[in-house]
Structure 1
């Protein structure tokens, strides 16, 4: 790429940076027809009040206790024999959605005295209904927030697996972690079953929570929009989701704009007429909460300062995390098991010293800036995008990474693509607005095919072609369409491929590029252009840091005698670094507040002490003793910026560089001219 390229500090718009406002008209939320809804509500309320005055429904067996429960939210008393409001007249099941059957909660025999024989719906009836239709149940997913409705023993006798995912029914949509669990359980069941068995999913009535979960599953496994998924569910289980906050949450989660034409269905008649409060209103849906209800969290629209320590994404099930860890180990050809203490498998550079400086003369290297961000690997799967941090914890983020063979709007994600990169926070110079950005600098697996043996330059080019370009293509098509329903600007971070340059440009990188960066940088990375991907410590991947920023990550502890101690790792165990001390300068908190934490420290050569820089929340273990030794060698060798530039000026005159620089420069010019056509 390279000599003639513009080393601007700000990324080019073509790399996923087009401002949303420049692509489509500013989106404003559709106006709600509040007046008509209020009028309808008032009219229905007056009608119910009239019915109440003339004839109180006899099925409100304990109105005083029921009303007291909702007036006193700290009460722990609840009539556990009472059937859920609206349950009697709520249709039992909906149509199948693939292999999923939405259902209201089956009630155990203990409720028979409260339910007329013709309206009973237990698991015995549920199983029978499906068998009549030629369907055999293999899994039941229970989304209620209680265990009082039925016993699971009968299910186990029939060989039907029962999974409980507790979700509050009142004042909250299911948590993102619960959604991840639901999608994982459904996917694993379908993957492992040998015969075509079905999944019965139920909350209390089988509409809001059930629909919310099923729509999430459809969104992550089928190429469709939120609107299509909502309509799909409402056709299978009329009237579909009827709580507006659930519908709004779905559009918000998948970064889609809600069409103005989409109208939330009214509360079904069987629910509105099931129970009436003293004002003739449909009673607040207890929706099976065993304990005191929890209010919706308040939405405080404030500008929150972004930091590198922020936890990104949503928790995933433990078993799914284990599977993904094993996938990483297998694809990177690591034999160590991951069921015990799992270590992050990503490639790590070593500090540049006078010994390994000679590698620059022996092999062909490119250079890039060393961003002061947070290291993440990224695993892209059909059902989502997952960030893998330095502690080897994995969390899901909602992003779009379509494949080329799925060109166009609504294309599916890559099936198992593994990337490596760093998350940085840009501060825009004019507005001071912060933007989080993921800089991808390597790719190890493409669509379930390992490519770690290929040279870096091939992997780097494939990264642009197979990951960045399809994403930009889809973004362009969506923004240019009549209905730009997806908003890339609402994704948790932006994405681009990190640039690498010829060694001949290092002076320009140091003098012009790094000073203009909108995020912190602390040095350079030297990448072997022909190197394979090497997991863990890569002796040929070199990092040079400004002298004052050379650092080591220690475990800091205060002993029983208040003695401050610094620890490293040696062969997987803590190693006390006797004679090493840390000073906490310009920090208001006492040293005791840092005890038990991983702290990054720089070296003060004058006082011969380590100086605290920051807490490494992204790491759970300190540096290895070998890393410490290499950093100390780098500090002692003191390769300054001037020394480095002088060395590079000599290196690029060597035949190994001179010939390839000419070829790469021509190739870069050809690529640029082709793009301009």
Structure 2
């Protein structure tokens, strides 16, 4: 497989984004920046000048009770120290100013303090540590390398004026973290990884060797957590126990708050070694409470910072839904770049979801099936996602083009791709929830396309080849890893939010078996069939040859429902190019929701509606509410609306579909062939594409299919 050169990839992305946003290097540690001369001034967030203001009592950092005037002075604070408004935080004087350089770039540090904090004997002369001392100490320890970026993790703006670093040629980034009451939240961690990764990419582009000074109040817990997060998300392979040990060696005793260490293991799902102990509290910190403040909400913040679900169920015991919100929010700067990367990998410009969209099968486009070779699959009534696999995380992209991050592992065959994890691989698929037994559910992502692989765009390749790439390059290596992880328990994949498998497709000959045998046995909702052109390229937006057929009673349109200001009746809108227009095909059944949803609750929402032939006051037909589409922010476009309405009025039955497909196969039209006489069949095709699903669900009923005309050599485990 031809690999896309790094320079070429970066130049193409930069060209597509105007050169003013960050780009992506397939082998880089993270999404990287497009500005070669350092972080843009617009990205800096310096707080107001602290030249001589009196600090407000509510403007303090929450790390370890360091609010001025709220705790007794430490025993070893030194002669002449008084607990006034400018007294250094508890333990600050005795805390070592810096640790050893981490990963040849990071300088872990306590917060430098401005001259005001040092005045009047508050800090002994031999303990002085301000911005100038911080830079000089780092330069000496590194053998002459300069600090070029300072990342401030404190929740305060009182310690120093960032202009002190700016005057020395250092960029400054503020990422406020509350400190004592909780480890850094998910968005703060992503911002740190993004900002530092961007700086390192820019530094590499100009051949620099500048350092990154990272500090919280004392330079241990928040600082250590961020450096460990960065190592986990950017190294060739994450090793949490080793990364914790490395930070502890550089800045003894390391992260000494147990809740910080626990949060890291909860986040990365790795087994904690018996040798990974909670470090002792440093001597200079003894006597100061480390517990969260009562009523601080620290536990709630931690719980809300990550997914509350696994592939096998919600942690609160509530039933799973395919549209459950998964993962964590993403820092907006990074989210913008992910959108740019997704659009680049799809080969399009624009600010909307770039996934391919089918059109409804109606009598006026039914002959399309006879003009192309087709594969067929079931249409799951799930939630559509594109999934971007990056070294620093797995990102879900929904129909609203919103981004969420989930913790999962997607290893890559090292010999094939030269890297150990996927980076810039883009999948397309749908999330479903299988009811596999009474009281037992499983959430699965059914991948049905591979748009890009390690930065190489596959959109021009035939569908069957792209589908084969999902199995060979994504699912198979992942399952090998999960099998080994299950034996060693080094990684707890049972806590991942969903499992992954390739969706089963069959040549057109399997259509009847899908309708008669396969769909009735599915463990999740299904509303019809998808007819996928076998040799087609990937097309963003509406694809005229990609067809969807729905069972008559489930054929639907997504409208925006608005209540009339005049009489309160429901008005349904579909999308035009620059506006929204009103549906005139029929009314809206006032009995909107059997689940008790009130009409007023639907005002302004995107609602999925089916057509009731005998609905409405005159029994002449009306749209009937089915559900709210929380995964969409716009109604169907006018062309989709018209296609679907035609399909509804045409009322093509499953018997007609089977009959029509039979005629196409008999003629060999479009390259579609009936099964060979006496050929091996697995409920309806030639050979299997999706393999078995050991977790249960539909493996015994899946129609067979082929990929590029070659049989699979052996079955594989599709998810565990």
How far did residue 460 of structure 1 move? 0.7
State the match for 1:361 in structure 2: 370
State the match for 1:108 in structure 2: 114
Q: Is the 8 A contact 2:322 2:382 kept in 1?
A: yes
* Offset from partner CA, 1:92-140 (integer Å, 9 cap, x none): 1111112111111111111113211110111110011122231211111
Distance in structure 2 (CA, Å) of the matches to 1:62 and 1:609: 64
State the match for 2:665 in structure 1: 652
How far did residue 628 of structure 1 move? 0.6
Q: Is the 8 A contact 1:604 1:611 kept in 2?
A: yes
Out of 419, 422, 428, the residue aligned to residue 427 of structure 2 is: 419
Distance in structure 2 (CA, Å) of the matches to 1:671 and 1:627: 37
Q: How many residues align?
A: 588
How far did residue 502 of structure 1 move? 2.0
* Residue 304 of structure 2 is aligned to residue 304 of structure 1: no
Alignment partner of 1:671: what SS?
Answer: coil
Alignment partner of 1:361: what SS?
Answer: helix
* Offset from partner CA, 1:274-323 (integer Å, 9 cap, x none): xxxxxxxx122599x9x984442297963122223322122222222222
Distance in structure 1 (CA, Å) of the matches to 2:456 and 2:565: 52
- Change in Cα spacing, 1:354 to 1:602, as seen in structure 2 (3 Å) is same
Q: How does 1:180-579 map to 2 (within 5 A)?
A: 180-193=190-203, 194=206, 195-222=208-235, 223-272=237-286, 282-285=287-290, 293-297=296-300, 302-336=316-350, 342-405=351-414, 412-429=420-437, 431-480=438-487, 483-561=488-566, 562-578=568-584
Q: Is the 8 A contact 1:375 1:389 kept in 2?
A: yes
TM-score normalised by structure 1 residue count:
0.82
State the match for 2:25 in structure 1: none
Moved more, 547-556 or 79-88: 79-88
Distance in structure 2 (CA, Å) of the matches to 1:115 and 1:556: 65
Q: How does 1:26-105 map to 2 (within 5 A)?
A: 65-66=70-71, 80-98=85-103, 99-105=105-111
State the match for 2:588 in structure 1: 582
Distance in structure 1 (CA, Å) of the matches to 2:524 and 2:66: 65
Distance in structure 2 (CA, Å) of the matches to 1:191 and 1:351: 46
State the match for 2:144 in structure 1: 134
How far did residue 651 of structure 1 move? 1.6
Unmatched runs of 5 consecutive residues or more in structure 1: 1-59, 69-77, 273-281, 337-341
* Residue 174 of structure 2 is aligned to residue 169 of structure 1: no
TM-score normalised by structure 2 residue count:
0.77
* Offset from partner CA, 1:219-267 (integer Å, 9 cap, x none): 1111231101111111111111111111111111111122233211110
State the match for 2:602 in structure 1: 594
- Change in Cα spacing, 1:557 to 1:364, as seen in structure 2 (3 Å) is same
Q: Is the 8 A contact 1:170 1:293 kept in 2?
A: no
Alignment partner of 1:149: what SS?
Answer: coil
State the match for 1:49 in structure 2: none
* Residue 644 of structure 2 is aligned to residue 631 of structure 1: yes
State the match for 2:711 in structure 1: 671
* Offset from partner CA, 1:483-512 (integer Å, 9 cap, x none): 431011111110001110122222221222
Distance in structure 1 (CA, Å) of the matches to 2:464 and 2:68: 73
Distance in structure 1 (CA, Å) of the matches to 2:102 and 2:441: 42
Distance in structure 2 (CA, Å) of the matches to 1:543 and 1:265: 59
Q: How does 1:594-633 map to 2 (within 5 A)?
A: 594-607=602-615, 608-633=621-646
Out of 125, 128, 133, the residue aligned to residue 125 of structure 1 is: 133
Unmatched runs of 5 consecutive residues or more in structure 2: 1-64, 74-82, 309-314, 616-620, 680-684, 689-705
Higher-helix-fraction structure: 1
Q: Is the 8 A contact 1:382 1:412 kept in 2?
A: no
- Change in Cα spacing, 1:575 to 1:354, as seen in structure 2 (3 Å) is same
Alignment partner of 2:150: what SS?
Answer: strand
Distance in structure 1 (CA, Å) of the matches to 2:316 and 2:291: 32
Moved more, 101-110 or 292-301: 292-301
* Offset from partner CA, 1:417-453 (integer Å, 9 cap, x none): 1110001111222x42222111100011111111101
State the match for 1:143 in structure 2: 153
Distance in structure 2 (CA, Å) of the matches to 1:62 and 1:636: 70
Distance in structure 1 (CA, Å) of the matches to 2:423 and 2:66: 55
Distance in structure 2 (CA, Å) of the matches to 1:616 and 1:129: 57
Q: Is the 8 A contact 2:459 2:537 kept in 1?
A: yes
How far did residue 329 of structure 1 move? 2.1
Greater RCO (CA < 8 Å, at least 6 residues apart): 1
How far did residue 612 of structure 1 move? 0.6
Q: Is the 8 A contact 2:69 2:84 kept in 1?
A: no
Q: Is the 8 A contact 2:507 2:672 kept in 1?
A: no
Distance in structure 2 (CA, Å) of the matches to 1:589 and 1:658: 46
Distance in structure 2 (CA, Å) of the matches to 1:421 and 1:596: 28
